[in-house]
Amino acid sequence: MAATKLNVMLVEDDDFTRATVKSALQGQGLNIVYDTALVKEGIEFAKKNRPDVAVLDYNLGKGPNGIDLANQLRKIQPEIGIVLLTAFLNPAELDTKISQLPAGSRYLVKHSVSNIKVLVKEILESSKYSI
Amino acid sequence: MRTIFPSIRDKPVFALDFSITYVGIIFLGLSIAGTELFKLYPDNKLEILLIRVIHTIFMFALVYLTQSTLRARKISTTGYFGLAVIGLWLAIPSLLVRVLLMEQFNLIADSQVAPYFTEQFLISLGLAFFWIPVAIILGGQRSKIIVAFKEYEKRLVITARKNIRNSEEFNELKKDVDQTFRNELIMNASQLLNSLTFSDDKKLSLKERNEIMQRCLKGNTLRDFSRRLNQQSEVMVSNSKFEQDMRSLNLISKQFNILYNFTARKAPVPARVYTLLTFALLLPNYINFFSLLQVLITLPGLLVIQLIAIQINKTLRHGGKYAILQTNFLTLLIGLLPFIEMILLSTLVPDLTEKFPIAIIAVFYPLSFYVYMRFIQITQPEAINAIKGDEIYASSSLKEAISNIVKDEFKQSMSHQWATFVHGKILTRLAATSLKLEQAVTHNDNNSFDVGLKNIISVLSDPTREFEQITFDLKTEISSRLDPWEGLIAITIKIDPVLADISNERVHDLGEVIEEIISNSVRHGGSQSISINITSGNHPDIKVKIEDDAVNPLPLFPTRIGLGTKILNLVSDGRWSISRDGGKTTVNLTMALLERQVSNHGGN
């Protein structure tokens, strides 16, 4: 699937980061159909609009984290592509309590987000996930 | 007062607990081995040791078989008569095997078997009618003491936790820990900030400036700092049944002196117990080595023991600052009397004096006697009553042990909060800015580049600025914890109206508890719904009851202690439990929400 045809949803609680990532992805021709800081809004959007890919920050402040949200999105929409953003090399380093990443999910270390093409590649790869 | 050994006329019933019998077998084996190695068969050490090992294994097997048979027949209690029968049942085979082994290892000749058997038979009667019943009775008492002590330990720990949590020392520690994390973050941020100044050179091209920036951002130490904090917060402590028992034992040992001092003053062991114990300990020696005349010569020693024991009793009942010290001294003196008697008699009637190795009679025996008496003292029923009635205060070493646990829990909890903050607010911003800078370079946009640089400088100049501000208001705190979960799990909450307007810093701790339980319920339990009920308890406590429909419920007795358990312990002072009923898992927690706080959280 071409990048421009992908509908991408972005959930990131930090306004500056969200705006920056959104702008970078749009710059690469991706269609950011929705961006939000709130988990519940992300879930509502996914239920109604079924985006191709969800780009989620791991750390979403108080409450659920990106993996909790990813698991829920996979329940709502089993074929959704998921890319998890983290500042660590391996999300498992973040928290031994974290649930397993949903099958087919990909994670991206945030400092390689500097190369936005890596992120786009991950998004494209994740969109190929099929159940 | 009920005694540990009630009168036979009262027809008492005792629990059949063999746990101390096993220990007794080892002690008996060591004691016999000592006498045989040093006095009777000093030239046959290897044979003696082999005999002792085989005999001990046989006795363990026999006790285990007896215990299993009684259990299978559902016989769990008996009276004095039953104890005597069990005593004979264990002591006679023990004697037979011992004689057989002595003969097999050629330590007694065939002609000596009969007299040896007769001599040892008298000792076996002492074993059957005294030592084995005593071990079983103490075993039953031990179970009661351990059950009572576990409850006591729990209450003691709760009280100690609460006192420590509210202490000035702990508040200082909170400030120190918080300040340490802040300082470290500021230091790492400053380092990065300094290195970034090289990129603020307008003479360089945008691409060159970006290369410097990216190098600094990728190699920054903040990521290591965040990872280190995270690792600290994820330390798990093993919590197997064995380790729990060892911790209890450790606490009991720390509390032993206070327990002993209390019961010794309140209900001292009767004087006759000192005399009886001495007689029981010396009986095998009387039988083995003493003629009737020698026994008669030493018997006045028992009278002296009785008189000293009466003095001990008086001293303890009278009380006073040095009562326990005097008791300890006099108890050791009683233990040393056989040695003193041996010295005196070897001067007065050397031909009628039986000599024993100094190591046994002057060291091993008195110390054993001292330990036995202390053990008997704390197994008195009065000790259990005192424990149940919370009459015994926590020792300073126990307080210190608990204080260390509380401090460790706090540090780990703070590590978690800071790790989340550094990762979520600092590293994320830096990564996003890094992305923004790359975009600026791609578009050759100097302005955007400077905006990105300014943003980084702003984050790094005051990195702790956005660290969590504590919510004091109950409603706000609860809603800030529950709202983010909307869509993931159905949450119903009920708060006692009396509590609705609460506003203090402990509200934040309640929020941590709720967050911890919900996240566990979702991540591990796979719950779809959860209900939270907060009611008021005895001032200053509140009760929190959380029920979920977890398909993978938490273990009732976790085998590892992680951050979640530590947060619950820290907030509730250990007053929480998990129960399960059908498909429903319930966490009950009590915490002092309404207590007055000494200082602000974390030094903010």
Q: What ipTM does this complex have?
A: 0.82
A64: chain B residues, CB-CB within 8 Å: 484-485, 488, 519, 522
**Which helix (H) or strand (E) segment is B531 a member of?**
strand B529-536
Q: Which of B227, B435, B480 sits opposite A116 (nearest CB)?
A: B435
B484: chain A residues, CB-CB within 8 Å: 38-40, 60-64
Q: By C-alpha distance, which of B36, B53, B46, B29 is closest to B105? A: B46
Q: Which of B234, B438, B484 sits opposite A114 (nearest CB)?
A: B438
Instruction: Give B268 or A86, the one with higher predicted confidence.
Output: B268
pLDDT in tens, B486-515: 888 999 999 999 888 888 888 988 998 998
Q: Which of A17, A23, A64 sits opposite B522 (nearest CB)?
A: A64
pLDDT of residue B539: 83
pLDDT in tens, B245-298: 777 777 777 778 888 888 888 888 899 999 988 988 888 788 778 888 888 888
B165 within 8 A of B406, measured Cβ to Cβ: yes
User: A51: buried, middle or exposed (CB in 10 Å: 19+, 13-18, 0-12)?
Assistant: buried
Phi/psi at B395 (nearest 5 deg)?
A: -75, 160
Percent with pLDDT over 90 in chain B = 25
Q: Is the confidence at residue B598, as pLDDT, over 50?
A: no
Task: Provide the CATH topology of domain B474-603.
Answer: Heat Shock Protein 90 (3.30.565)
- How many Cβ atoms from other residues are within 10 Å of residue B15's Cβ? 15
pLDDT of residue B604: 35
Instruction: Give B405 or B485, the one with higher predicted confidence.
Output: B485
Cα angle value A72/A73/A75 (rounded, 5°): 65
Task: Record the pTM.
Answer: 0.66
- How many Cβ atoms from other residues are within 10 Å of residue B39's Cβ? 16
Instruction: Specify if A24 maps to a domain.
Output: yes
Question: Which band of pLDDT confidence, cut at 50, 70 and 90, is reported for residue B307?
Answer: very high
Q: B77-78 and B14-15: which strand pairing?
A: antiparallel
Torsion angle of alpha carbons B485, B487, B492, B497, nearest 10°? 60
How close, in Å, is residue A70 to chain B by CA atoms? Answer: 10
B88 within 8 A of B69, measured Cβ to Cβ: no
Q: By C-alpha distance, which of B594, B507, B508, B524 is closest to B564? A: B524
Which of A91-95, B183-187, B479-483 has the least mean pLDDT? A91-95
- CATH for A10: 3.40.50.2300
**From the candidates B215, B415, B428, B439, which should be mutated to test the interface with A, based on the most A CB atoms within 10 A?**
B428
B522: chain A residues, CB-CB within 8 Å: 64, 68
Question: Which band of pLDDT confidence, cut at 50, 70 and 90, is reported for residue A97?
Answer: very low
Q: What does the block give as tokens for B108?
A: 């007694």
Instruction: Specify if A51 maps to a domain.
Output: yes
Report the distance separating Cα A92 and Cα B259, nearest Å.
47
**Which helix (H) or strand (E) segment is B358 a member of?**
helix B358-358
Q: Is the confidence at residue A2, as pLDDT, over 70?
A: no
CB contact under 8 A, A17 and B428: yes
pLDDT of residue B64: 96
Q: How far is CA B540 from CA B82, B416, B533, in A?
A: 52, 28, 17
pLDDT in tens, B4-46: 667 777 788 888 999 889 988 988 888 788 778 877 888 888 9
Helices B271-289 and B300-318, packing angle to 10 deg: 160
Percent with pLDDT over 70 in chain B = 93
pLDDT of residue A115: 63
Question: Which band of pLDDT confidence, cut at 50, 70 and 90, is reported for residue B588?
Answer: very high
CB contact under 8 A, A20 and B564: no
Mean pLDDT of chain B: 84
pLDDT of residue B557: 65
pLDDT of residue B601: 44
CB contact under 8 A, B524 and A20: no
The answer to whether the Cα torsion of B321, B325, B328, B332 is positive or negative is negative
Which residues in chain B (71-110) have CB-CB distances under 8 A to chain A? none
Give whichever of B225-234, B352-361, B369-378, B558-567 has the largest mean pLDDT.
Answer: B369-378
| CA B575 to the chain's CA centroid | 16
Q: How far is CA B292 from CA B40, B71, B287, B288, B537, in A?
A: 20, 43, 9, 11, 71
Give me the mean pLDDT over the B512-526 stretch.
87
Which residues in chain B (478-537) have CB-CB distances under 8 A to chain A? 480-481, 483-488, 515, 519-520, 522-524
Give whichever of A20-24, B5-9, B540-544, B580-584 has the largest mean pLDDT.
Answer: B540-544
Q: Is the confidence at residue B184, as pLDDT, over 70?
A: yes
Q: What does the block give as tokens for A12?
A: 């990131």
**Which helix (H) or strand (E) segment is A106 a member of?**
strand A106-109
Report the distance separating Cα B489 and Cα B598, nearest Å.
37
pLDDT in tens, B112-138: 888 888 888 888 888 899 889 989 988
Range(s) of the domain holding residue A60: 3-126
- The number of distinct structural domains making up chain A is 1
Torsion angle of alpha carbons B97, B98, B104, B109, nearest 10°? -130
| CA B39 to the chain's CA centroid | 41
pLDDT of residue B289: 81
Q: Which of A20, A63, A93 sits opposite B435 (nearest CB)?
A: A20
Q: Which of B230, B438, B480 sits opposite A93 (nearest CB)?
A: B230
A123 within 8 A of A8, measured Cβ to Cβ: yes
Instruction: Give B404 or B324, the one with higher predicted confidence.
Output: B324
pLDDT of residue B92: 94
Q: What does the block give as tokens for A126?
A: 């994740």
A43: chain B residues, CB-CB within 8 Å: 487-488
| CA B390 to the chain's CA centroid | 18
A129 within 8 A of A11, measured Cβ to Cβ: no
pLDDT of residue B503: 86
What are residue A35's DSSP bridge partners?
A10
Q: What does the block give as tokens for A85?
A: 């953003």
Q: How far is CA B94 from CA B48, B51, B87, B359, in A?
A: 16, 12, 11, 27
Q: How far is CA B60 from CA B97, B103, B459, B524, in A?
A: 13, 21, 70, 44
CB contact under 8 A, B523 and A44: no
Report the distance separating Cα B471 and Cα B478, nearest Å.
10
Q: By C-alpha distance, which of A99, A23, A62 is closest to B448? A: A23
Question: Which band of pLDDT confidence, cut at 50, 70 and 90, is reported for residue B75?
Answer: very high
Instruction: Give B153 or B165, the one with higher predicted confidence.
Output: B165
pLDDT in tens, A43-57: 999 999 999 999 998
Report the distance separating Cα B16 and Cα B68, nearest Å.
11
pLDDT of residue B597: 47
Instruction: Specify if A131 maps to a domain.
Output: no
Q: How far is CA B35 from CA B122, B123, B284, B339, in A?
A: 17, 14, 10, 15
pLDDT of residue B281: 85
Q: By C-alpha distance, which of B361, B366, B362, B345 is closest to B274? A: B366
Report the distance separating Cα B566 and Cα B233, nearest Å.
10
CB contact under 8 A, A97 and B523: yes
B597 within 8 A of B506, measured Cβ to Cβ: yes
Q: Which of B423, B438, B488 sits opposite A116 (nearest CB)?
A: B438
